[in-house]
Structure 1
Amino acid sequence: MPSPSPIWSKDRHQDRRPFLLGRNRITAALRRWFAARDFVEVEPAALQVSPGNEAHLHAFATELIGPGGDRQPRYLHTSPEFACKKLLAAGEEKIVAFARVFRNRERGALHAPEFTMLEWYRAGAAWHVVIDDTLALIAEAARAAGSTGFAWKDRAADPFAAAERVSVVEAFDRFAGIDLEA
């Protein structure tokens, strides 16, 4: 049995290239969407002094070696959130980051140790404005990919349909059978 061709092989890459091109179209479309709404794109540093305080996220550790040989621990960020929130505190109002993030202990069909995370912030905006952003971005990504719908296993979703909005109380009652008002 022949061994699989290397990842850099043209034969092996040929079936993956459409996904690469689709990702490029989606990223470009989302950047245009944010730019048209006056968001400032930021690029938070990936190397951090602290690994963060999220108990369920685990950072990769590394070491910063200074010119004199002194060593200091550093961590690859698991999210651009802290850096983005510092920018908000400094006065930015609408920011977006397409950040490479790194998470140790994450492996599986739906989890990778390194991936791109899209994070955006609107200082002072009501929750429904951020939901409207989310719905618009999903539709924009679908259009850029040439997709009319999303499917995963036995579930399907229309990225262009109006979203049903339910309260937390309604969601717990309907989907978990828990009456929060009781």
Structure 2
Amino acid sequence: MSGFDEIALPDEALEAWLAVKINRRPLVRTVSALEGFVTAAVTGPPFPDPQYWICPAMGLPFDVLTNGTDLELAVFAAVAKVHNRINETFFNRPHEYAPQFATKSDGGIDPRPWCQGFYAAMNLNMKDWKPLLNRSNIHHALLLPILIYCVDKKGLPVLGKPRPGPDTDRFLEHEAYLDIALVVPTIKELHDPIRLARSR
């Protein structure tokens, strides 16, 4: 276990930290959204440095590793721990990957926070995500099971207003999110050559 693992906040404390409405303005507000955000960071176009996405995600100062409080360092360590877990799963057991969706009060699955977190990470690195957002790109469909649950800064559906009706409601409630576990590993495969090139 690394030193970071030892100081990392547990999920419950991390969720409470994210829920506090103060000036730090994290890009995610729940652990499920954080899972989606980190998954995008792991599988999408690479960031130059982990601090470039961890700090905005959590509303931490960019000098957190040198001047952060003990609590801020524990938050940073918690995100690094999530990153390492997801990255290790893709590296060693990709067939076991499963998104960590939120659970509704009735026990149902709520993919929206996870998807919104994934989309928040995309927005932080939108220039590099742009090719995959192009509808003429044959890989564009990989993002659809995620973006169908996302809204933009104005609260509007990213993919446009869905067709009203019970079939659409049923699809969104019980089916669309099932494809996310299938598309995310492929998204990673598309970006692996970029990661490899930048690591050399």
Does TM, normalized by the shorter one, top 0.5? Answer: no
- Larger fraction in strand: 1
TM-score computed with the length of structure 2 as normaliser? 0.23
- Determine which structure has greater relative contact order: mean sequence separation of CA pairs < 8 Å that are 6+ residues apart, divided by chain length: 2
- Larger fraction in helix: 2
TM-score computed with the length of structure 1 as normaliser? 0.25
